């Protein structure tokens, strides 16, 4: 049947066709006002059929996996090309092979788990821990979400791969009230892990304490400063800087079309020589990790910027072929209803040699930002923002008052040239990142050691 | 039973309602005290053209079902939901047994449960939400429309040498909501859109991109490809050769397409879900002055043909017109059934129901009525200020009202738009921002479900060089 569909997909003269079968089973639980107010489960399944003809893409999908709807979707996608069939479908009768790849995460069954007591216990524990943290914590919401996604990719070039991808995440949101003031704190984490992770590695109590700590801190925050200044970013989640400043700009589709601020800059200096950035889909258990991408290609550890010099882009099959560049296994999609495109996996800066304390000490007047809400970027102009949710003033080399939420803005191809110090304390984020591009969301990871930027604009309201 | 057939309906319409009612009954027989089913069917088409060549064609349809079941218990009502794309008999049985099992582990909540039967209903008559003609153009002509929009932009100026393409898309949807307290109704909707996004290169080699679009419920109301291309080109060219300005406090002028995001923040601040838990800076402010006395903000789900119009909300209540702010005074929150009960108020018909989970809250057609100044008159009153053409990021804290976002735009000097400005932020606090709206334009137009005229806001901080 798969070969018949691929044959039908190429019947109008396409160069390449693939079928992407996907089934997802997801569970969400939420505690709110100490009550389990939301409990939901969902399943979805479908197949997306893609045909490439030169630079053109034809796409159709169906949630009915019987023969006739699949063939109809194949014929719809085929219409992108116009001509007689010219491409034979490679023999797929060998079936799935043992690739010998290391296993990065477990492969649970794709079915809804009827016993939710262990998952319920997680959110209830988070609720209790946050309320016990401090009497000023007045409102707590905790949620647990997990899914198991199983994919099968079969393509006319002989690709035939399947993967089972677990993903779990625990989130805590709290409000602190004191003396007429209210502040929020959020925390969360997870990855391609099973429930044991929340017992053995990052417990509900850990996330509850972290969210509560942030909220209490914000009760006494002062206005963030406004203007250009020295900025120190802490390790871990502040790596969202890399995701926005350089990550998106190095996705191959934008560079193939010449619409990225990084187009044509390979081999050129785009950061200080202390900066080395990779995109690595092969880290065990990480939120952005994958055995194979959504085109069935193995993910890899890809050098993006080495000692400040731009080395390469993240590619999918289409861009690698059209740009004659190495294929890096970065073709991802949100679901079977979407066309794959180059996306990040886990993007991070390698550790340097500076002591984090020395980095803080070197700043006369600046901002030390350790937690962020998120960010975004205009790929073409290169301007990017990311919003600090926990940050402090640095005065005469010392961390002083916490400041209120503020957005930082910079220019992608320039910002990393001002990186003057890089700590030895590389950390990856807790596992909460979701990246949106052209309406498609995919889970990603980021990471960074403590770094110092000599210049960046901080969007506060104060002096 | 409040079963109503749409003005533009067909045979499958009532079939689908009957199917939803059948599933509700089945869930009741399986043990649910109450049940609610949402059925969604939809199809989509998209054609993308880039540099004159067809790049992507996508055409497909899908459907989904969501079920909520309620169990009456000691101390309140238990609720849970399941969703699926499998509408087979076996799939439905699985959906029901799963939801009942989940409901048993949820906590009893005295505020939970379906609305009272008397509150159900829908806006009668043709709301102008569905036009079959969105698919009436043959596919080659849809591609040609996208190509013409892009070509018109590329032809404007030699500095426009690249493009992120032109696109034509269309979609139709059919939505059914039925519950065990007698509500069963549905509506269809249609959409089509045409857009293009040109890229221009400035004197330093820096590139800028902007875009323009037209969207409508009927293809006959879509703007011409050429007018879209010309406007997209104008917007892109004016961004070229931008510079950073010094950090300072000046008046900021928000044109309609940017000002609407400020209104969106207001809708978030009056969201009942944030209000009852104290997570909004407007909690407890009903009856208080929260905006300048010239400001009125309305949410209206009943306006025919608009993008935020629906005959009923996600709880099965008729949509209505709600004045949120009148002459600067906070008059109402946006509430669904659950949050209204929590606050001891009446629902404003603002429930938003996805396939899974409990209903959330959203605005319908949210707008600030037009004032009487032309945009030119507003600019003329600014000696030195900033005109925003793009906001970046989501740096808004609803708990405190702190607002800080990346921005690009044009500098205003002596009432005139001058050079381009980029890589700056604008910041303030929403509590002050609404009080500091000093001018309201006469240029209100419902291009999307949230609409604002041009606004001038004073007192915000610009951070730049």
Q: Are residues B397 and B435 in the same domain?
A: yes
DSSP A345-396: SEEEEPP-SB-HHHHHHT-SEEEEEEEEEEEEE-TTT-EEEEEEEEEEEEET
Q: Do B399 and A175 touch (CB under 8 A)?
A: yes
- B429 interaction partners in chain A (CB closer than 8 Å): 461
Question: Which element (helix H / strand E) includes A144?
Answer: strand A137-155
Say how far residue A431 (Cα) sits from the centre of its chain: 9
Give the pTM: 0.94
Q: Do B424 and A457 touch (CB under 8 A)?
A: yes
Specify whether the CB–CB gap between A149 and A22 falls below 8 A. Answer: yes
Instruction: Give the H or E element holding residue A278.
Output: strand A277-280
B356 and A112 within 8 Å at the Cβ level: the answer is no
Q: Where in chain A is the domain with CATH 3.30.2290.10?
A: 2-91+114-219
Based on the fold, state whether residues B247 and B216 are members of the same structural domain. Answer: no
**A37 close to B (CB below 8 A):** yes
User: Quick one: which of A417, A401, A427 has its CA closest to A456?
Assistant: A417
Give pLDDT, residue B6.
36
Same domain, B175 and B259: no
Q: Which of A35, A114, A383 sits opposite B408 (nearest CB)?
A: A383
Nearest chain A Cα distance for residue B419, angstroms: 16
Global ipTM: 0.93
CATH number at residue B37: 3.30.2290.10
**Residue B107: per-residue pLDDT:** 96
The confidence band for A50, taking pLDDT boundaries of 50, 70 and 90, is very high
What percent of chain A shows pLDDT beyond 70?
A: 98
Tell me the residues of chain B between 436 and 465 that have a Cβ less than 8 Å away from chain A.
Answer: 461-465
Inside any domain, residue B108: yes
Q: Indicate the pairing of strand A406-411 with strand A383-395.
A: antiparallel
Q: Cβ contact (<8 Å) for B463 and A458?
A: yes
Residues B215 and B267 in one domain: no
**Taking Cα atoms as reference points, which of A169, A150, A120 lies closest to residue A20?**
A150
Closest chain A residue to the Cα of B91, Cα to Cα: A43
Model confidence pLDDT, tens digit, residues A350-404:
999 999 999 999 999 999 999 998 899 999 999 999 999 999 999 999 999 999 9
Q: Which two tokens stand for residue A237?
A: 């989640």
Instruction: Find, in chain B, the residue whose alpha carbon is nearest to that of A338.
Output: B58
Using an 8 Å CB-CB cutoff, list chain B residues near A228: 247, 464-465
- Which positions 161-190 of B are in contact with A (Cβ < 8 Å)? 162, 164
Write out residues 291-350 of B within 8 Å (CB-CB) of A: none
> Which of residues B212, B233, B254 is at a domain's end?
B233
Beta bridge partners of B68: B36, B81
Residues written for chain B: 465
Choose among B84, B85, B105: nearest Cβ to A120: B105
Cross-chain CB nearest to A184 (options B101, B397, B406): B397
When comparing pLDDT for A48 and A112, which is higher?
A48
User: Chain A: nearest CA to B124, how far in angstroms?
Assistant: 33
Q: Does A117 touch chain B (CB under 8 A)?
A: yes
Give the domain-ending residue among B214, B233, B252.
Answer: B233
Q: Which residues of A touch B390 (CB under 8 A)?
A: 378
User: pLDDT tier at B314 (50, 70, 90 boundaries)?
Assistant: very high
Token pair 């801190």: residue: A217
Confidence at residue B458, expressed as pLDDT on a 0 to 100 scale: 98
What's the pLDDT band for B111 if we cut at 50, 70, 90? very high
Q: What percent of chain B has pLDDT over 70?
A: 97
Whether B134 and B186 share a structural domain: yes
Q: Which residues of B touch A44 (CB under 8 A)?
A: 64, 83-85
CB count, 10 Å around CB of B26?
18
Cα separation of B81 and B100, whole Å? Answer: 8
Residue of A nearest to B399 (CA): A183
With CB atoms and an 8 Å threshold, state whether B395 touches A373: yes
- Both B296 and B430 in one domain: the answer is yes
Judging contacts by C-beta atoms under 8 Å, the chain A residues touching residue B103 are: 39
One domain for residues B99 and B23: yes
Q: Is B29 on the interface with A (CB under 8 A)?
A: no
pLDDT bracket for residue B9 (50, 70, 90): very low
Residues from chain B that touch A261, judged by Cβ atoms under 8 A, are 206-207
Q: Does B83 touch chain A (CB under 8 A)?
A: yes
Instruction: Please count the other Cβ atoms lying within 10 Å of the Cβ belonging to residue B277.
Output: 19
The alpha-helical segments, DSSP class H, found in A10-59 are: none
- A374 in B contact zone (CB under 8 Å): yes
Whether the CB-CB separation of B19 and B92 falls below 8 Å is answered with no
**Between chains, do A61 and B62 touch, taking CB under 8 Å as contact?**
yes
Whether A186 shows a pLDDT value over 50: the answer reads yes
CA B376 to chain centroid: 28
Full domain range(s) for residue B180:
11-233
Q: How confident is the model at residue B312 (pLDDT cuts 50, 70, 90)?
A: very high
SS (HEC) of chain B: CCCCCCCCCCHHHHHHHHHHHHHHHHHHHCCCCEEEEEEEEEEEEEEEEECCEEEEEEEEEEEEEEEEEEEEECCEEEEEEEEECCCCHHHHHHHHHHHHHHHHHCCCECCCCCCCHHHCCCCCCCCCCCCHHHHCCCHHHHHHHHHHHHHHHHCCCCCEEEEEEEEEEEEEEEEEEEECCCCEEEEEEEEEEEEEEEEEECCCCCEEECCEEEEECCHHHCCCHHHHHHHHHHHHHCCCCCECCCCEECCEEECHHHHHHHHHHHHHHCEHHHHHCCCCCCCCCCCCECCCCCCCEEEECCCCCCCCCCCECCCCCECCEEEEEECCEECCCECCHHHHHHHCCCCCCCEECCCCCCCEECCCEEECCCCCECHHHHHHCCCEEEEEEEEECCCECCCCCEEEEEEEEEEEECCEEEEEEEEEEEEEEHHHHCCCEEEEECCCCCCCCEECCCEEECCCEEECC
Q: Token pair for residue B361?
A: 């809250």
CB-closest option in A38, A177, A182 to B357:
A38
| CB of B152 closer than 8 Å to CB of B40 | no
- Dihedrals phi, psi of A55, to nearest 5 degrees: -90, 0
Kindly tell me the sign of the dihedral angle through the C-alpha atoms of B270, B275, B276, B277.
positive
Whole-number CA gyration radius for chain B: 24
Residue A440 contacts B, CB cutoff 8 Å: no
Question: What pLDDT is stored for residue B142 in this prediction?
Answer: 96
- What gap in Å lies between CA B264 and CA B322, rounded to an integer? 15
Specify whether the backbone of A95 is left (phi greater than 0), alpha (psi in -120 to 50) or beta: left
CA A307 to each of CA A11, A172, A270, A278: distance values in angstroms, whole numbers, following the listed order: 48, 38, 10, 11
Q: Are residues B171 and B246 in the same domain?
A: no
Q: Please give the residue of chain B at the shortest CA–CA distance from A120.
A: B105
Other CB atoms within 10 Å distance of the CB of residue A90: 16
Cross-chain Cβ contact A61/B60 below 8 Å: yes
CB contact under 8 A, B207 and A259: yes
**Chain-chain contact of A407 with B356 (C-beta, under 8 angstroms):** no
* Burial degree of A131 (CB within 10 A; 0-12, 13-18, 19+): middle
Per-residue pLDDT band at A215 (split at 50, 70, 90): very high
Task: Please judge whether B207 and A80 are an interchain contact, meaning their C-beta atoms are less than 8 angstroms apart.
Answer: no
Residue B4 has pLDDT above 70, yes or no: no
B53-82 residues touching A, CB cutoff 8 A: 53-60, 62-64, 79-82
Give the pLDDT confidence score for residue A94 in this predicted structure: 65
Give the list of residues 6+ apart from residue B374 with CB closer than 8 angstroms, or none: B441, B442, B443
Pairing verdict, β B402-413 and B384-392:
antiparallel
With beta carbons under 8 A apart, name residues in chain B contacting A457. Answer: 244, 423-425, 463-465
Residue A383 · residue B214 · CB < 8 Å: no
Instruction: Over range B431-440, report the average pLDDT.
Output: 98
3-state SS class at A107: coil
Q: Is B5 within the bounds of a domain?
A: no
| pLDDT interval class at B7 (50, 70, 90) | very low
Q: Answer yes or no: do B205 and B247 share one domain.
A: no
Burial of B292 (0-12, 13-18, 19+ CB in 10 A): middle
A121 at B interface, C-beta within 8 A: no
Instruction: Compute the count of residue pairs across chains A and B with CB atoms less than 8 Å apart.
Output: 253
Interface test with A, best of B39, B45, B46, B58 (most A CBs within 10 A): B58
Spatial distance between the Cα atoms of B309 and B455, rounded to a whole number of angstroms: 25
Q: Residues near A317 by Cβ (< 8 Å), separated by ≥ 6?
A: A16, A52, A295, A297, A327, A331
pLDDT at residue number A27:
95
- Partners of B184 in the β-ladder: B178
CB burial of residue A165 (10 Å; 0-12, 13-18, 19+): buried
Q: Give the number of other CB atoms < 10 A from CB of residue A463.
A: 8
Share of chain A above pLDDT 90, in %: 89
* Partner A contacted by B408 (CB < 8 A): yes
Alpha carbon of A36 to those of B106, B160, B351: distances in Å?
Answer: 5, 55, 20
B201 with B324, same domain: the answer is no
Please report, in angstroms and rounded to a whole number, the separation of the first and last CA atoms in chain B.
Answer: 64
- Tell me, what's the pLDDT at B1? 33
Q: Which distant-in-sequence residues (6+ apart) come within 8 Å of A60 by Cβ?
A: A48, A49, A72, A73, A74, A76, A77, B58, B59, B60
Same domain, yes or no: B170 and B302: no
Pick the last residue of a domain from B199, B233, B267: B233
Query: Nearest CA to CA, how far is B422 from chain A (Å)?
Result: 8
Q: How many domains would you assign to chain B? A: 2
Q: Identify the bridge partners of residue B410 per DSSP, sorted by sequence position.
A: B387, B420
Q: What homologous superfamily is domain A2-91+114-219 in, according to CATH? A: PmbA/TldD superfamily (3.30.2290.10)
Considering only CB atoms, A409 lies closest to which of B102, B162, B406, namely: B406
- Whether residues B98 and B169 share a domain: the answer is yes
For the segment B386-434, what is each residue's pLDDT rounded down to a tens digit?
A: 999 999 998 999 999 999 999 999 999 999 999 999 999 999 999 999 9
Contact between chains at A224 and B404 (C-beta distance less than 8 A): yes
Q: How far is CA B48 from CA A39, A405, B133, B203, in A?
A: 39, 39, 20, 29
**Contact status of B118 with chain A (Cβ, < 8 Å):** no
Q: How far is A333 from chain B (nearest CA, A)?
A: 15
Nearest to A381 among B207, B279, B400 (CB): B207
CA–CA distance, A394 with A360 (Å, rounded to integer): 7
Average model confidence (pLDDT) for chain A? 94
Q: Tell me the per-residue pLDDT of B321-380, one tens digit each, with 9 for 90 and over.
A: 999 999 999 999 999 999 999 999 999 999 999 999 999 999 999 999 999 999 999 999
Q: How confident is the model over B453-457, as a mean pLDDT?
A: 98
pLDDT score recorded for residue A109:
73
B3 located within any domain:
no
């Amino acid at each position: 049947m798969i070969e018949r569909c691929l044959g039908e997909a190429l019947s109008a003269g396409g160069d390449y066709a693939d079928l992407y079968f996907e089934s997802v089973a997801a569970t969400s639980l939420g505690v709110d006002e100490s009550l389990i107010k939301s409990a939901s489960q969902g399943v979805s399944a479908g197949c997306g059929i893609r045909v490439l003809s030169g630079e053109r893409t034809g796409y159709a999908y169906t949630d009915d996996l019987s023969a006739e709807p699949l063939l109809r979707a194949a014929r719809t996608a085929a219409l992108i090309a116009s001509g007689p069939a010219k491409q034979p479908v490679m023999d797929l009768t060998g079936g799935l092979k043992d690739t010998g790849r290391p296993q990065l995460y477990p492969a649970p069954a794709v079915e809804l788990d009827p016993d939710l007591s262990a998952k319920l216990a997680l959110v209830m524990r988070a609720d209790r821990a946050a309320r016990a943290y401090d009497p000023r914590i007045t409102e707590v919401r905790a949620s647990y979400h997990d899914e198991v996604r199983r994919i099968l990719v079969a393509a006319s070039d002989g690709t035939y791969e399947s993967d089972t991808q677990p993903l779990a995440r625990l989130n805590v949101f709290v409000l602190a009230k004191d003396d007429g003031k209210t502040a929020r704190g959020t925390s969360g984490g997870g990855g391609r892990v099973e429930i044991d992770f929340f017992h053995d590695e990052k417990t509900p109590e850990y996330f509850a304490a972290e969210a509560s700590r942030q909220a209490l801190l914000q009760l006494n925050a002062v206005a963030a400063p406004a203007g250009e200044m020295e900025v120190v970013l802490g390790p871990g989640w502040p790596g969202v800087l890399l995701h926005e400043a350089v990550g998106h700009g190095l996705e191959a589709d934008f560079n193939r079309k010449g619409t990225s601020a990084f187009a044509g800059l390979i081999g050129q200096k785009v950061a200080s020589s202390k900066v080395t950035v990779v995109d690595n889909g092969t880290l065990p258990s990480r939120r952005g990790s994958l055995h194979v991408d959504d085109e069935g290609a193995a993910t890899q550890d890809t050098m993006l910027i080495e000692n400040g010099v731009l080395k390469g882009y993240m590619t999918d099959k289409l861009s690698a072929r059209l740009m004659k560049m190495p294929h890096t296994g970065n073709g991802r999609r949100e679901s079977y209803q979407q066309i794959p495109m180059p996306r990040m996996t886990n993007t991070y800066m390698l550790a340097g040699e500076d002591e984090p304390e020395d980095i803080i000490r070197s700043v006369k007047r600046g901002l030390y930002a350790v937690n962020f809400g998120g960010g975004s970027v205009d790929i073409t102009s290169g301007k990017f923002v990311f919003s600090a949710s926990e940050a402090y003033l640095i005065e005469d080399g010392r961390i002083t008052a916490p400041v209120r939420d503020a957005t930082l803005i910079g220019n992608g191809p320039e910002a990393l040239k001002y990186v003057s110090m890089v700590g030895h304390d590389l950390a990856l984020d807790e596992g909460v990142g979701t990246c949106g591009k052209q309406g498609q969301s995919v889970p990603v990871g980021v990471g960074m050691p403590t770094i110092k930027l000599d210049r960046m604009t901080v969007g506060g309201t104060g002096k | 039973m409040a079963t109503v057939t749409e003005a533009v309906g067909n045979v499958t319409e009532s079939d689908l309602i009957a199917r939803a009612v059948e599933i509700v009954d089945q869930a009741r027989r399986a043990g649910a005290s109450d049940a609610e089913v949402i059925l969604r069917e939809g199809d989509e088409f998209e054609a993308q053209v880039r540099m004159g060549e067809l790049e992507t064609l996508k055409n497909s349809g899908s459907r989904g079902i969501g079920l909520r079941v309620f169990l009456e218990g000691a101390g309140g009502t238990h609720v849970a939901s399941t969703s699926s794309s499998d509408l087979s008999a076996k799939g439905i049985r699985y959906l029901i047994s799963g939801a009942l099992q989940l409901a048993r582990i949820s906590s009893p909540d005295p505020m939970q449960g379906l609305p009272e039967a008397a509150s159900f209903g829908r806006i009668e008559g043709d709301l102008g939400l569905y036009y079959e003609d969105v698919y009436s153009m043959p596919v080659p002509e849809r591609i040609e429309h996208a190509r013409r929009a892009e070509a018109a932009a590329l032809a404007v100026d030699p500095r426009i040498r690249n493009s992120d393409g032109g696109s034509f898309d269309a979609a139709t949807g059919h939505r059914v909501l039925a519950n065990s307290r007698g509500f069963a109704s549905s509506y269809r909707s249609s959409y089509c859109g045409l857009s293009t996004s040109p890229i221009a290169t400035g004197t330093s080699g820096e590139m800028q991109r902007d875009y323009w679009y037209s969207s409508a419920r009927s293809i006959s109301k879509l703007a011409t490809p050429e007018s879209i291309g010309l406007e997209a080109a104008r917007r892109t060219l004016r961004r070229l050769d931008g510079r950073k300005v010094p950090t300072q406090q000046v008046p900021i002028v928000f044109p309609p397409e940017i000002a609407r995001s400020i209104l969106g923040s207001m809708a978030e601040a009056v969201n009942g879900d944030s209000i009852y838990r104290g997570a909004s800076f407007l909690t407890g402010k009903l009856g208080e002055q929260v905006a300048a006395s010239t400001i009125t903000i309305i949410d209206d789900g009943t306006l025919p043909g608009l993008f935020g119009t629906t005959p009923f909300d996600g709880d099965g209540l008729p949509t209505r017109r709600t004045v949120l702010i009148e002459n600067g005074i906070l008059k109402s929150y946006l509430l669904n059934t659950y949050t209204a009960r929590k606050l001891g108020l009446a629902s404003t018909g603002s429930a938003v129901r996805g396939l899974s989970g409990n209903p959330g809250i959203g605005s319908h057609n949210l707008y600030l009525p037009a004032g009487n100044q032309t945009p030119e008159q507003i600019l003329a009153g600014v000696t030195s200020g900033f005109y925003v053409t793009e906001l970046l990021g989501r740096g808004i804290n609803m708990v405190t009202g702190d607002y800080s976002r990346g921005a690009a735009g044009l500098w205003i000097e002596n009432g005139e738009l001058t050079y381009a400005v980029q890589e700056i932020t604008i910041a303030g606090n929403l509590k002050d921002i609404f009080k500091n709206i000093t001018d309201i334009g006469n240029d209100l137009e419902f291009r999307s479900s949230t609409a604002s005229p041009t606004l001038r806001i004073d007192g915000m901080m610009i951070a730049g060089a």
